[in-house]
Structure 1
Amino acid sequence: MTNTLSVIDQGTILDFTFDDALRYHGPLAPGGVAHAYKVIERALGELAVDGPVERRELVITTSHGGPGVRDTFELVTRAVTEGRYTVDKALARPERGNTLAQYVFQIDYRDQSVTLIIREGIVVDEFIELVGKADRTTEEDARLVVLKLEMTDRVMASPADQIYDVVPSTVSQ
């Protein structure tokens, strides 16, 4: 389904699969797990040119506050526990519209930085509308579950560079 994410921790190479991330997070937000997994995969492709990166030197800033995203970054990088993970709404790109605005991730590693934004067509408007709806009906909750699984499958079926683009950063760290 996807490549394994490899990082180094205290001289030991650690490999993480998508299934590892799903088990760590649980069933709540499989789409968020998939997005973070592909973000890490894409970022590592840019940052790990000489082999795996040191996991505890990755710094993540995102405008996406979802629990699946957070937990996947924690599993692979330990950034949440160690204070290297920040949800910053200023990173959002509102000019991209409500559906795409929050899918922005900046990954810093040593003297390098990469900013990733989601491509159009990956997240559907209906998903964003239902996620943001306070008083969903039982039918809407069931539909949201379907949309989460469809998005998860869509994200994981494609290479990371088909899901996320590398763009110039608009926020300096």
Structure 2
Amino acid sequence: MSKHAATPERPEPTPVPHPERTVTVWEDGVELNFTFADCMKYHGPGFPGGVAHAFAALGRALPELSARTPDGRVERRAIRIRTPFGGPGGRDAFELVTRAVTGDRFAVLPELARPERGNTLARYVFEISAGDATVTCVLRDEGIVADEFIELTAKADKTTAELAHLEVLKCEMRDRILDRDPEMVYDLEGSLRNT
């Protein structure tokens, strides 16, 4: 009988804020709409906060990018993402919506971090491009990510109680993100620019 790592104790599921919210991309003339729930089904239960960050960043970036596209359609397989955020929840949400990971259009680049913003905010930067347009989404400094979450995530040898608490913190962060419109989660750095 094989041994498996202990499954972290997760809090009871709670309703996700704004379940009707979608992000939209296009592929071969077909409109594709994705909800947060779709992203979670693809990712699994592990990192709902990271999924929520990617979903919010896409929700902020895609309307801006579509405004720079002649037909208003952002082609799914034309989207490129560069970020210092390497979390699996974010990666999986970006992959589901854009197929950027398997298309080699997703890059985790630690040098894009903003250490001057402090340890809690430094890695929440997403440069999202489509065609010749690029936007950079930067997390707002409004308590969306708790310092405690960053500290506990980085801690080695977590106790069972700490692991359980970390699961609660992930869900709380998810809810803080999804309870707000994307523009209240991520600012766009400057205006759209050509790459």
TM range (shorter): over 0.9
Residue in 1 aligned with 2:3? none
From 64, 71, 78, the equivalent of 2:92 is 71
Structure number with larger C-alpha Rg: 2
From 101, 118, 132, the equivalent of 1:80 is 101
Residue in 2 aligned with 1:154? 176
Residue in 1 aligned with 2:9? none
State, as a whole percentage, how many aligned pairs show the same letter: 56
Unaligned runs of 5+ residues in structure 2 are 1-17
C-alpha deviation, 1:48, in angstroms: 1.0
1-side partners of 2:73 and 2:156: how far apart?
42
Residue in 2 aligned with 1:57? 78
Alignment of 1:79-118 (within 5 A): 79-118=100-139
Amino acid aligned to 1:47: L
Amino acid aligned to 2:127: Q
1-side partners of 2:74 and 2:145: how far apart?
29
- How big is each residue's C-alpha offset from its partner over 1:129-163, in whole Å with a ceiling of 9 and x where there is no partner? 11111210111101100100000011000000000
Residue in 1 aligned with 2:47? 29
C-alpha deviation, 1:52, in angstroms: 2.9
Runs of 4+ with deviation above 4 angstroms:
none
CA RMSD of aligned residues (A): 1.5
Amino acid aligned to 1:152: R
User: Structure 2-normalised TM-score?
Assistant: 0.85
Residue in 1 aligned with 2:30? 12
> How many residues were matched structurally?
171
2-side partners of 1:3 and 1:53: how far apart?
18
2-side partners of 1:117 and 1:5: how far apart?
18
Unaligned runs of 5+ residues in structure 1 are none
From 56, 81, 89, the equivalent of 1:38 is 56
1-side partners of 2:25 and 2:134: how far apart?
17
2-side partners of 1:85 and 1:134: how far apart?
28
User: Structure 1-normalised TM-score?
Assistant: 0.95
Bigger shift: residues 3-12 or 136-145? 3-12
Amino acid aligned to 1:16: F
Alignment of 1:127-166 (within 5 A): 127-166=149-188
C-alpha deviation, 1:109, in angstroms: 1.0
1-side partners of 2:113 and 2:38: how far apart?
28
